Structure 1
Amino acid sequence: MERVTLPDGQLHPLFEVLASPLGLIVRGLSDLLSPLVAHSALIMLTADPSGGRIQCCGDPTVQRGVRGLDLDQLRSKIGGVEGVHGTTLRVGDARRPAIQVVARNGALLVLTDPGPVADLDPLLDIWNIVALHVQERADEAAPDYLRHARSTAGLRLQVLSEIKDEYSATLDSILVPLRSGQLSDASARDAAIARSAAGLKRLRGMTEQAHTVAAESVTLAFARLKEELWSAARSWHVELEFIEPPEGDHLIPDDVARGARAVVHRFILSRMQRSEISRVRVQWSCDGTDLIVKVRDDGDGGTADAETLLQSVQQRIHALRGQLAVNSTSGWGAELSAVLPLEPPLVRPSTAAIAGLRPREMQVANLLASGSRNRAIAEELGISENTVKFHISRILHKLQAGSRAEAIATLLTEQQT
């Protein structure tokens, strides 16, 4: 096992960072790393159970101007290889010097306007520890989070597609009269055509990028699973056999990849607790439509084992709209087979709107649906009635409801489906 290098006095601050709520990790990490390398802002690109992928603290200009697509493109340029790299980051219309740190699990850390770095090893070690911690929190997320993540992923792609179509139609409509030759200033016409064409090309490129931001290749996802299992196998004393995905580097959504890895972990841990196993075979395959996960061991097996295994993984599989089969035969071990669809589910407008409510709006909405009046809601949440009215106004707008009663009907309908 590699030795982690931490400067003197940083072990306790690191513990404090890991013990923080996920939303506060970014600020604590910035304070922890400041003695190692000065920076104007710190950005994390990870997956976490709160559903957020990008967290940033520091320079407000960076917080407002950084884009997820640019961060993902930054990481893609170096192929997600672990290490520390100097680079530049586009912030609004400008480029800022930066350091990007890529963890073993592919999580990206960016420090803008960095000062000199005397030793890169502690920087990389600290980020590996924090990134793994955040990933484990995501892997242990409740099935409701996975279901929400799949829904919002589908909604995001749907909205991006609609924006692309709308802007494409707008720009195309501009190009038609410009190309008709009716303008007297040929130079202006040519320049406008060139700019419009460039805008279309950029918009289409951004849409294609957006489809891959929340995805990774099945071979990379499987490689990460192997690395995690090899590391755990040192304490499990289990022989691992891996059957690689066949050729064809299909992209799979990151929530599906995380869910599949968590299922494999849970399967093995559950079996280790109930049966003496010495060998486990793990196999993934992907046809571009589904991710197929198979795990088999050489334990004792039996009906009781099958029921225990179902209980340990079925909620996670069902949250991802997957199909699950578990077979456990006495003397032949246990086998799990799961099929996880890659395409996110279609989202009804009301479902999408509710998923888009902010946490405080969701609290107000739940109390609203239960029949509480404004004063009762204000007392329950410790806010003013004017604030309650403001939240209800936003809820009505997001649900496209014309009245309080219509909003309540929508909320109750969604709760019953």
Structure 2
Amino acid sequence: MTGFSTSIAPAHLPEPAPPWPLLNAIARIADAPLGRIAERLREAVLPFAGGDALVIFTEECTGRPQKKAGSAEVVAKVSIAELQHLRSSLDGEAAWSGTALIAGRERRVLALTYPPSNALLVITCPDGAAGSEADSLDMVRYLWDLTAHRIQEKVNDAAPSYLVESRAASAERLRVTSELVDLHSTTLETLLAAARSSALDDAAARASVTDVAARALVELRTHNDRTTDLIEEPVASAFERLRDDLRPLTRFSGIEVQFIEPPLNGRALPGEVAIAARAIVRGLLLAMMEQPEVRRIRTQWDCDGENLLINVRDDGNGGLSTDAPAMGRLQRRVQALAGRMEIDLMQGWGADISVTLPLDAPAAPGDVSGWNLASRELEVLQLLAAGQRNRNIAAALNISENTVKFHVRNLFRKLQVASRSEAIALAHSRGLR
């Protein structure tokens, strides 16, 4: 019998289909505006962790440090104090599960941190909906890291309108908290006085009431301090964060970057000013580093009690392009905080850029309806009042310098003034700055 052999081609195995639901969830996180990023993250982690609510706590967003989605009971009641206490109790752990006080009662939670920004993710009543526990946790960790990084990027590159809204929200939160402190402090101090009164014979009752009220007062004051800490950052630590953020860039660029630190006793910066200041300096450094002849850049911060003063200077030949889109975006960030940017280009000697950012939100403008200004004329007047030149106003409003001059002439006529200085003085008298 003659033997023979037959070769059998291996069966063609179909390639696994791409995990489209997960990929689509990641894409939605990447594209989400800050106001909806918690909702998008919850959609993505539900198959892996379940849970009835998700809360993000990040101090990068000074106006709205909490971002929430899910159960109305949790979303409506969770407090900053609870989240701060949970984060501090983690003691450096990247992921933790257990029972914690959230939204007024003890709940099962899964908590994850993001060390680069000290952000916290809390999922209440997790159930590990799919896969092994380790695999599910790894996927939640991946999605959380992606989200926290995107929040950092979005805040750093925030549009001017976001900075204005953030500042307004921070100021309003501080105002409401201060009112609550005043109200409850008066109530509790009255309670203490009554409990200590000699007219009350029950010594045990007085002692108990005194103890409860005293602890409530301490807790209320502590809550106020925490709220203030959230919307302010010491100028020295804000500058140190800038140095840390820029360290990878400066390490590999081949350009020497010198940091001149602000005074340690400088006034604390509102959160949105600190974030904007770091983004502005980072943008200026990147623009300066694009010049081939630059070898050294110096950045300096200072405080005069009312403003953060920023100076960035390079040793190039003064060829920095002030018309570049990136410079226009930086100008708009500065203007959103009622600040000023002055650019001095010295041919053969480099660029010297000074930025002034007010630490206090501008006062609410007075009534200017009697001037009968068109909306564009009011925008031009606001930029005039901020000390901007025609060229900068044109760039900020995306109009020509000739159009700016046209609006300025109309402003002079309607305000009945004869010069820019008179127009600026009149605008300042109505709270426009």
Pair 1:111-2:123 in alignment: yes
Aligned counterpart, 1:319: 336
- Residues 231, 271 of structure 2: 8 Å contact kept: yes
Per the TM alignment, residue 67 of structure 1 is displaced from its structure 2 partner at its CA by 0.6
Per the TM alignment, residue 82 of structure 1 is displaced from its structure 2 partner at its CA by 8.8
Per the TM alignment, residue 246 of structure 1 is displaced from its structure 2 partner at its CA by 5.1
CA distance in 1, matches of 2:93, 2:335: 33
Q: Secondary structure at the match of 1:141?
A: coil
Per the TM alignment, residue 73 of structure 1 is displaced from its structure 2 partner at its CA by 4.2
Aligned 1:145-224 pairs, distance under 5 A? 145-224=162-241
CA distance in 1, matches of 2:239, 2:142: 23
CA distance in 2, matches of 1:180, 1:132: 56
CA distance in 2, matches of 1:326, 1:177: 63
CA distance in 1, matches of 2:43, 2:75: 17
Q: Secondary structure at the match of 1:104?
A: coil
Aligned 1:221-240 pairs, distance under 5 A? 221-232=238-249, 238-240=255-257
- Residues 221, 257 of structure 1: 8 Å contact kept: yes
Q: Secondary structure at the match of 1:137?
A: helix
CA distance in 2, matches of 1:275, 1:311: 21
Picking from 300, 305, 327, the partner of 1:283 is 300
C-alpha RMSD of matched pairs (Å): 3.9
- Residues 310, 326 of structure 1: 8 Å contact kept: no
Q: Secondary structure at the match of 1:300?
A: coil
Aligned 1:92-111 pairs, distance under 5 A? 92-98=103-109, 99-111=111-123
- Residues 84, 102 of structure 1: 8 Å contact kept: no
- Residues 313, 352 of structure 2: 8 Å contact kept: yes
Q: CA-to-partner distance for each residue in 1:21-57, whole Å, 9 max, x for gaps?
A: 4333222212322344343321112368895331212
Q: Secondary structure at the match of 1:211?
A: helix
Label 1:13 to 1:177 Cα distance change in 2 as closer, same or farther (>3 A). Answer: closer
Q: Percent identity?
A: 34
Aligned 1:251-262 pairs, distance under 5 A? 251-262=268-279
- Residues 250, 288 of structure 1: 8 Å contact kept: yes
Higher-Rg structure is 2
Pair 1:41-2:53 in alignment: yes
Picking from 66, 69, 78, the partner of 2:81 is 69
CA distance in 2, matches of 1:161, 1:31: 36
Aligned counterpart, 1:90: 101
The one-letter amino acid of 1:187's match is A
Q: Secondary structure at the match of 1:113?
A: strand
Q: CA-to-partner distance for each residue in 1:288-330, whole Å, 9 max, x for gaps?
A: 764343322232215x746769745333223324344333212
* TM-score normalised by length of structure 2: 0.66
Give unpaired runs (5+ residues) of structure 1. 1-6, 351-413
- Residues 234, 269 of structure 2: 8 Å contact kept: yes
- Residues 60, 117 of structure 2: 8 Å contact kept: no
- Residues 178, 192 of structure 1: 8 Å contact kept: yes
Per the TM alignment, residue 146 of structure 1 is displaced from its structure 2 partner at its CA by 1.9
The one-letter amino acid of 1:118's match is A
CA distance in 2, matches of 1:282, 1:135: 22
The one-letter amino acid of 1:192's match is V
Q: Secondary structure at the match of 1:100?
A: strand
Label 1:74 to 1:335 Cα distance change in 2 as closer, same or farther (>3 A). Answer: farther
Q: Secondary structure at the match of 1:90?
A: strand
Label 1:279 to 1:108 Cα distance change in 2 as closer, same or farther (>3 A). Answer: farther
Label 1:84 to 1:300 Cα distance change in 2 as closer, same or farther (>3 A). Answer: farther
Per the TM alignment, residue 133 of structure 1 is displaced from its structure 2 partner at its CA by 1.8
Pair 1:131-2:148 in alignment: yes
CA distance in 2, matches of 1:8, 1:43: 26
Q: CA-to-partner distance for each residue in 1:357-410, whole Å, 9 max, x for gaps?
A: xxxxxxxxxxxxxxxxxxxxxxxxxxxxxxxxxxxxxxxxxxxxxxxxxxxxxx
CA distance in 1, matches of 2:183, 2:39: 38
Aligned counterpart, 2:353: 336
* TM-score normalised by length of structure 1: 0.68
CA distance in 2, matches of 1:349, 1:177: 46
Q: Secondary structure at the match of 2:68?
A: strand
Give unpaired runs (5+ residues) of structure 2. 1-17, 368-429
- Residues 36, 123 of structure 1: 8 Å contact kept: yes
The one-letter amino acid of 1:107's match is A
Aligned 1:357-372 pairs, distance under 5 A? none
CA distance in 2, matches of 1:348, 1:184: 57
